[in-house]
Structure 1
Amino acid sequence: MLRWTVWTYQEGEGWSPDQQLPLNLSDFGPSLAGGSSLDCVFAGAKGDSRLYLTRYDHINGWIVAQALPNHYSAAAPAVARYQNKLYCVHRGGKDDEQLWWATYGDQGSGVNEWSADQSFPAHKSSTTPALAVFQDKLYCVHRGAVDDAQMYWTCWDGSSWSADRPVGGWTSSHAPALAVYRDTRRQPCLVCVHRLDDGSLNLIRFTGSDWRPGLNDYPTTLPGKTAKAPALAVFGGDLHCVQRGNGDDKNLYISTMVQGSHSWYGPLRMGESVASAEGASLTVYRAPDGTKDQLFCMHRGV
């Protein structure tokens, strides 16, 4: 069953107790997108590879999840908001490692609905991709298919996806995570955190032209190790990474790079009952009647 917790950026406030999303089951981790609304897309459980969408209502809570019309995935999807639409990128169902994409919004009928799934030109992955908006384009970073651990990147300019290109020589044993941050010279960059074979997490950045290790003076390796994919978000000006423990440790931990510092703080356990068999998802959202941003974390149970 999916669960969620929230953190309000205020001294003395921590993570709220984990809450369940009734009737929302997934074999994989969910994917969150904040902004104008708080949306969650996830694949089903127990052989159900259909994708589902649930949305948070600040009065009534999470609405009943609705299945996407004809969209399937054998791993968690990735979602991001771009040009007033919700974009979803995912690998196919069962043995289909082709990457697919669809959008949720006004497709021309005057009502919000999902577009049909469209396949990428020649982009494949065995696991979950990562999405982020950087320099007015939607970037997708993903691991290769089958035994290809090389990471690749492509971007959507509003009309087409670019050809897949290698992310330098970097590899990943699980799905990567993306966020837009600033390096030590205050220059915006696309940050990617990915898992190495030994469970450690590595940080690289994209400047708009090439991929480079670390954030200038910042270390490239994050503290702690994980058995699954990490999650990234910028909240309160700081860069946050949520990771599941390594090996049999299913607790969720958070590490933070405080803006202007040169090191990571953590990892700190997120709560006594906050645990997951898979990776988590992070996003920032402020309810229509809210006065401050909140950091939302969603994950499946153990």
Structure 2
Amino acid sequence: QDIKISKGGHTKTSEGPALAVYEDKLYTAYKASSSNDLWYNVFDGTEWLEQDIKISKGGHTKTNKGPALAVYDGKLYLAYKAGSSNDLWYNVFDGTEWLEQDIKITKDSRVRTGRGPALAAIFPYLVMVYRDDS
């Protein structure tokens, strides 16, 4: 049976969402359908949170493509393409809050993409793959 996540006009996206199991709960992160803001929601095995939680704050953590999620070293990692460039960034959730400032992956115009990245953890690595921006 399908379980609808979208309720009351929220949890809507215009790009593919990301999923990861973190601390025995299912997390979904997604780009909002009407902006470049990133949001997340949590499924406890019975129901989703009534209200999504916004990750974007202070003008950062924004994307125009689908993000990626993976659990690594006890934390939830979110990788995404910037909303206004082809740079790649990431943020980390410790179970309580996201980092105040995102960390830029792109250096010296390398590691750039026109699409959303993918993440996976295989001990001892956190691996990100992406299509280059050419």
**Alignment TM-score > 0.5, same fold:** yes
Structure 1 residues 179-190: aligned runs within 5 Å:
179-182=70-73, 188-190=74-76
Q: Distance in 2 between matches of 1:202 and 1:126?
A: 20
1:191 to 77, 97, 100: 77
Q: Is the 8 A contact 1:129 1:142 kept in 2?
A: yes
2:29 to 97, 119, 141: 141
Give the structure with higher Rg (CA): 1
Report deviation, 1:173.
Answer: 1.6
Cα distance 1:156–1:119, how it changes in 2: closer, same or farther (>3 A)? closer
Q: Distance in 2 between matches of 1:139 and 1:119?
A: 12
User: 2:63 corresponds to which letter in structure 1?
Assistant: S
Structure 1 residues 212-291: aligned runs within 5 Å:
212=99, 213=101, 220-223=103-106, 224-246=111-133, 249=134
Cα distance 1:117–1:235, how it changes in 2: closer, same or farther (>3 A)? same
RMSD: 1.4
Cα distance 1:210–1:235, how it changes in 2: closer, same or farther (>3 A)? same
Report deviation, 1:230.
Answer: 0.2
Q: Is the 8 A contact 2:22 2:76 kept in 1?
A: yes
Q: Is the 8 A contact 2:19 2:29 kept in 1?
A: yes
Q: How many residues align?
A: 122
Aligned to 1:173, what secondary structure does the other structure show?
A: coil
Q: Is the 8 A contact 2:5 2:48 kept in 1?
A: no
Give the number of the structure whose residues are more often strand, by fraction. 1
Q: Deviations over 1:153-210 (max 9, x none)?
A: 100001110121100412112110000012xxxxx11000011121011110011111
Q: Deviating runs (4+, > 4 A) in structure 1?
A: none
User: 2:129 corresponds to which letter in structure 1?
Assistant: V
Q: Is the 8 A contact 1:154 1:161 kept in 2?
A: yes
Q: Distance in 1 between matches of 2:69 and 2:77?
A: 6
Q: Distance in 1 between matches of 2:2 and 2:121?
A: 31
Q: Distance in 1 between matches of 2:20 and 2:3?
A: 19
Tell me the residue number matched to 1:176. 67
Tell me the residue number matched to 1:128. 16
Cα distance 1:119–1:207, how it changes in 2: closer, same or farther (>3 A)? closer
Q: Distance in 2 between matches of 1:180 and 1:119?
A: 22
Q: Is the 8 A contact 1:120 1:161 kept in 2?
A: no
Q: Distance in 2 between matches of 1:128 and 1:243?
A: 15
Report deviation, 1:243.
Answer: 0.5
TM-score, reference length from structure 2: 0.85
Structure 1 residues 91-130: aligned runs within 5 Å:
115-116=1-2, 118-121=4-7, 122-130=10-18
Aligned to 1:199, what secondary structure does the other structure show?
A: coil
Q: Which runs of 5+ in 1 are unaligned?
A: 1-114, 183-187, 215-219, 250-302
Report deviation, 1:236.
Answer: 3.2
Cα distance 1:181–1:124, how it changes in 2: closer, same or farther (>3 A)? same
User: 1:176 corresponds to which letter in structure 2?
Assistant: P
Report deviation, 1:120.
Answer: 2.3
Aligned to 2:47, what secondary structure does the other structure show?
A: coil
